[in-house]
């Protein structure tokens, strides 16, 4: 039994965090107790090591403040060198004069995450800044920026490789039985969610003026003296429910068109203003599959910083919902398909070694991303299904709350649906 979901159990926010200022961060740097996690377009910097047995282990690649400063400086220099090569008699000077002064690192760009073992931990967005209109091709400039970033990072060991890796890939590559790996993943998710929120909150929703970081990134505030609106990090609550037929011992699973082939999952939907959790479960079930539900049992919740790009973080709130009607009428705007699945079919899917295979394959991709290696080809999914290695259907892996809702019902029955997390 797991003790918490992926992205939960963050060790640096479990205790009370301090109210810090830019000055406090400067003092922490002077004392040698400040560490920074760089994040590039939502991808945290990690280090990966390949063991003699062929296994992979990754961890967050925390950096000194000075190293981050040098990384941004190297990126600016790389872009300026690129622009100099691209200049033309008509617009070359305009291209070279693009202002990169905002890229020089100061403590007011750091976002405080928490403390661990006497060390102040922050995160920093090192993504390329928007390029001025009329400048050279943005893709090429971004490439130059990233090449500059790659030259300066500190390595935790001589055999380690570092790189910016997609958070979803880290999630699927994390062994959910590894407590340390889950803690690292939760910190990475927290960092990305905070930076995404800051990037989406740069302007005041009341007056439209710019907002700035306050309290070491714990909030933002409008610069308009007549407004001074305070903004705090937010998340978007979502109900996710497993709809159960007690008598026939089966559940409703649905799939969206964006799902990978063979994957089925629980129903889910956003909570509307003025709506309770229970009301949201009943409404979303009725809207998506036309089923009326009665009794509802809470299971657990999970932060989800890898949802739609327009949202910095969702909170998935899981329930079991018992059906009162049983005919499925799919809303094709919401779902591609939905059907009742028997317990034996779900149990069969859960007994396959597919989840471990996927986790190990993703872990290898994480290491390859850090080492700059080409991804190795693997046997096609269709061939492996035909060979009997994979089930004809599967549910999300153990990194997702949907997996635990489904597996709890499949292994315990509707009479044993207690909170398992």
Band of residue 384 on the pLDDT scale cut at 50, 70, 90? low
Confidence check: pLDDT of 291 > 70 = yes
- If phi > 0 it is left, if psi is from -120 to 50 it is alpha, else beta; for residue 290 that is left
Mean pLDDT, residues 279-305: 97
Question: What element of type H or E holds 211?
Answer: strand 211-214
pTM: 0.89
d(CA 185, CA 233): 19
Residue 367 vs residues 71, 157, 161, 372: alpha-carbon distances, Å? 22, 15, 8, 8
Q: What is the 3-state secondary structure (H, E, C) of 122-149?
A: EEEECCCCCCCCCCCCHHHHHHHHHHHH
d(CA 107, CA 21): 9
- Check: CB of residue 80 under 8 Å from CB of residue 205: no
Tell me what pLDDT residue 379 has: 46
In the numeric block, which tokens belong to residue 109?
């760009």
Tell me what pLDDT residue 402 has: 97
d(CA 54, CA 235): 39
Arithmetic mean of pLDDT over the chain: 86
Model pLDDT for residues 322-341, shown as the tens digit of each residue: 999 999 999 999 999 999 99
Higher pLDDT, 283 or 93: 283
Tell me what pLDDT residue 338 has: 97
What domains can be seen in the chain, in order of their start residue?
22-200 (no CATH), 236-352+391-416 (3.90.79.10)
Band of residue 12 on the pLDDT scale cut at 50, 70, 90? very high
Tell me what pLDDT residue 375 has: 60
- Check: CB of residue 204 under 8 Å from CB of residue 224: yes
Mean pLDDT, residues 37-50: 93
The residue to which tokens 């892996």 are assigned = 397
Q: Is 360 exposed, middle or buried (0-12, 13-18, 19+ CB in 10 A)?
A: middle
The residue to which tokens 């403590």 are assigned = 107
Tell me what pLDDT residue 95 has: 39
d(CA 152, CA 60): 16
Tell me what pLDDT residue 336 has: 96
- Check: CB of residue 191 under 8 Å from CB of residue 65: no
Tell me what pLDDT residue 306 has: 96
């Amino acid at each position: 039994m797991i003790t918490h979901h992926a992205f939960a159990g963050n060790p640096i926010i479990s205790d009370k965090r301090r109210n810090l200022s830019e000055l406090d961060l400067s003092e922490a740097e002077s004392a040698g107790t400040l560490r920074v996690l760089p994040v590039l377009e939502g991808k945290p910097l990690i280090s990966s090591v390949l063991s003699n047995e062929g296994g992979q282990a990754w961890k967050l690649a925390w950096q000194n403040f000075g190293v981050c400063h040098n990384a941004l400086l190297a990126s600016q220099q790389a872009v300026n060198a690129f622009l100099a090569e691209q200049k033309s008699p008509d617009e070359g000077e305009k291209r070279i004069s693009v202002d990169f002064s905002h890229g020089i690192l100061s403590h007011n760009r750091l976002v405080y995450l928490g403390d661990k073992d006497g060390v102040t931990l922050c995160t920093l967005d090192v993504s390329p800044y928007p390029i001025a209109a009329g400048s050279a091709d943005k893709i090429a400039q971004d490439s130059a920026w990233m090449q500059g970033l790659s030259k300066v990072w500190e390595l935790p060991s001589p055999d380690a490789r570092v790189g910016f890796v997609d958070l979803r890939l880290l999630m699927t590559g994390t062994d959910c039985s590894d407590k340390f790996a889950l803690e690292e993943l939760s910190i990475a998710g927290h960092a990305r969610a905070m930076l995404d929120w800051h990037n989406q909150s740069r302007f005041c929703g009341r007056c439209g003026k710019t907002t700035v970081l306050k309290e070491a990134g714990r909030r933002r505030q409008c610069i308009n003296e007549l407004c001074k609106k305070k903004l705090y990090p937010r998340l978007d609550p979502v109900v996710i429910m497993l709809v159960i037929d007690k008598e026939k011992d089966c559940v409703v699973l649905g799939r969206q068109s964006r799902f990978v082939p063979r994957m089925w999952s629980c129903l889910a939907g956003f909570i509307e203003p003025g709506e309770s959790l229970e009301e949201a479960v009943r409404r979303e079930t009725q809207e998506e599959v036309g089923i009326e539900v009665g009794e509802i049992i809470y299971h657990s919740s999970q932060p989800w910083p890898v949802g739609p790009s327009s949202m910095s973080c969702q909170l998935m709130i899981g329930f079991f919902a018992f059906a009162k009607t049983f005919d499925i009428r799919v809303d094709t705007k919401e779902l591609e398909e939905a059907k009742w699945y028997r317990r034996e079919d779900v149990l069969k899917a859960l007994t396959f070694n597919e989840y471990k295979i996927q986790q190990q394959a993703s872990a290898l991709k994480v290491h390859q991303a850090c080492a700059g290696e080409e991804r190795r080809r693997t046997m096609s999914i269709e061939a492996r299904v035909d060979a009997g290695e994979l089930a004809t259907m599967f549910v999300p892996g153990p990194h997702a709350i949907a997996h635990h809702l489904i597996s709890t019902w499949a292994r315990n029955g509707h009479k044993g649906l207690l909170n398992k997390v």
